Amino acid sequence: METIENYAEQLQQAQVHIMAMRSEMSKAIIGQKNIIDSVLTALIASGHVLIEGVPGLGKTLLVKALSKCFSGQFSRIQFTPDLMPGDVTGHSIYDFKTEQFNIRKGPVFTNLLLADEINRAPAKTQAALLEVMQEQQITIERNSFKLDLPFMVLATQNPIEQEGTYPLPEAELDRFMMKIYIDYPMEIEEKLIITSVTTNKESDSLNVDNLDSVIMPEDVLVLQKIASQLPVDDAVISYAIRLVRSTRDWAGILQGVGPRGGISLIRAGRAYSLINGRKFVTPDDIKTVAPAVLRHRITPSAELEIEGLTSDDILANLLDQVEAPRI
């Protein structure tokens, strides 16, 4: 049985790893502290993350920065309209010399997978990720292959309104623990970005070449285990359940959040508590991660959309009205 001293040491070591990742990613990502914390939350919670924003806001750079400070395997798939499911998962190929079919594994066999512009591929190709995101395994020609852990999908997408995009099916959206919006930078941050990119550089973007690898795959697994064991009071669990259940009969929501949303809410709350140095999950932790965990799991009514209200507007109202416990 673990002693209190050992547990305290684990929490202290976890903070060392988390601060190191934050520091390295901040070298490439100017501002956007909350975005960095959200991605680290998903990683430590063993979840997948969908990152949305208009072109040029650093979605791909964010994922590259995470991969650079992580010493595990990293793969990138550029999703296009002609991308086939086998290009993602792999396929069997006939070897004329041996007269046998051999399995050629696809880029999904990795630790961190960047699915770049995922909504530019049709639903058939998007669905190739369903099994691996849920079960961490791939089936090719009736053969199942387990992936090495940790495994995380970081998908980027442009807003659906843009030309040449396909909306993600609900089943796939639900497998993303969090959906993160990257907005335009503040004026001071934009000035720093432009200054950094245009000073003694020939390219037109920031890069991750100067980032150091600060964490091993086994360290990430330890962080995930520590987060999964953080205490959560029954009152906090009840609060998360009330939030989820409220979406099912809330005015203006056509489709509410399923049980997987509640599970993700607690897991993300634990991870967010850990990256902020707390020893237990607070109601504020749940309230902070709730928009990213729930926004892609609710469907606003057409009437509210006509009025210009978004999922975030609805959730903000819901979070204000569902009473949080005091612990």
Segment 52-72, tens digit of pLDDT: 987 777 888 888 899 999 998
In the chain the domains, ranked by start, together with CATH numbers, are 1-202 (3.40.50.300), 230-327 (1.10.8.80)
Query: Looking at the predicted structure, is the pLDDT value of residue 206 above 70?
Result: no
Cα three-residue angle 131-121-260, rounded to 5 degrees: 35
Q: What percent of the chain has pLDDT over 90?
A: 50
Q: Record the tokens describing residue 40, joined without a space.
A: 């680290």
Query: Which among 158-167, 183-192, 278-287 has the top mean pLDDT?
Result: 278-287
Query: Which among 100-104, 195-199, 247-251 has the top mean pLDDT?
Result: 247-251
Q: Record the tokens describing residue 154, joined without a space.
A: 């970081």
Helix axes 259-275, 283-294, angle to 10 degrees: 130
Q: How far is CA 289 from CA 36, 179, 283, 292, in A?
A: 13, 10, 10, 6
Query: Looking at the predicted structure, is the pLDDT value of residue 258 above 50?
Result: yes
| Residues making up the chain, counted from first to last | 327
Q: What is the DSSP letter of 323?
A: P
Q: What percent of the chain has pLDDT over 70?
A: 93
* Residue 49, amino acid: V
How distant is the alpha carbon of residue 14 from its chain centre? 20
pLDDT, average across residues 78-104: 81
pLDDT, average across residues 138-152: 87
Total-model pTM: 0.89
H or E segment at 37? helix 33-44
Q: How far is CA 219 from CA 21, 71, 203, 272, in A?
A: 12, 10, 34, 17
Residue scoring higher pLDDT (130 or 189): 130
Q: What is the DSSP letter of 296?
A: G
